[in-house]
Structure 1
């Protein structure tokens, strides 16, 4: 079963996605206004039951960012060994992971354009798996980490590269341009460790394979990410962790291969799906 946020006409809905269209479930959860609120209330498991055998309500719709009101999105940077080597600074694997925040306004949905701003054209792609926390926890041991995941989704962690260099100790400016990245298309319930432990992540630009790696090569596996992050903050249902991108982003080519209007970026993982976005210049 797949669950998404989508738009039809002027209205936003959340619900189940089938091959024939979407099943709006808003009326089944009148006390919750969004997919995020359903998860935050611990009711994610009830979505499949609510969908049941209901007919498709929206054969035609547009995807939104899967959780457009997500309150906390944490991203793990430089999390594959080849990615660390791309920096060519001679550094060994770091002892601790790099983390930075992103905000929901920086993401759009599946089949919607990534927006390249007029201030800078170094828009880059980063294909990643994102996890959604379903159970609160603090100081979560690695062996229990997967018990706290409700769902999986995909992320194109779009970045304005020149703007991550505006300060010495953070990358926030380059990581939060409006609609520069995407999360979606949907949430897939997390039911089996193999969904992550055996996952292969691929990113294509205009059909060309640019990123191709397996999550079991991460320097900081997802179990460790949950353990580490929950040491300093209580993870809450609805929190999103974007887990890291492999080598092959556009900035690392010589010359760089930044995204331009008309490009098509696809991030894929078997068992989760494909997140697809075009690129457009911002209309100002």
Structure 2
């Protein structure tokens, strides 16, 4: 098949949306058992695993085989790693202050408000961001060079995210570092290596889809993710809470906010 099958694609979108709804309803049930809504943070990565699995099977006989496998493997590896990491990190902890603050605005039933403002919104956002996965899976044209560039960008992203998370865990495990700012490993070059890695992952997945039409039209997906990570609920909120820590001002002054760069002090010394 040489042309994009629109009817099959929209049927696939429906199945992906259903999978996301089911995952979120299961998560909501789990939140009532756990007594906290931040369990959805663990499900966030799993939403894209579900989207990738459903898209893979729904696109059978419609999309290029190799691209379908890439768009199954890349989101699945990233999403499962993220879910495991977030799940382990949240064990034994209470509710996230972000969700407590949000639920304080509820005028009626807090759980219905949570379904609408936490679960529904994240579900819609997940469906939008998953667009390269779903669209790309139905593209019939063979994989070309741009897709392999996307795989490399994705791999860089997974490296920064996974290594950055591991370095942060090791730093936090040392009681002597309590109240301090991490300034080692990847964190010397960017204040948010995990967020930078997350953005690279989604630009990489987009490039796999953008290797053929109409995948290029899904560019809004990595743009949305990058904005969320930099000016949305990611770096901006985290830096607000980190600004009270010892050494933060000096660290922020010499370290790139997002894109990895050599520390500014070293560049100044080299120029002098």
The structure showing larger relative contact order (alpha-carbon pairs under 8 Å, at least 6 residues apart) is 1
TM-score using structure 2 length: 0.23
Which structure has the larger Rg? Answer: 2
TM-score using structure 1 length: 0.23
Normalized per residue, the structure richer in helix is: 2
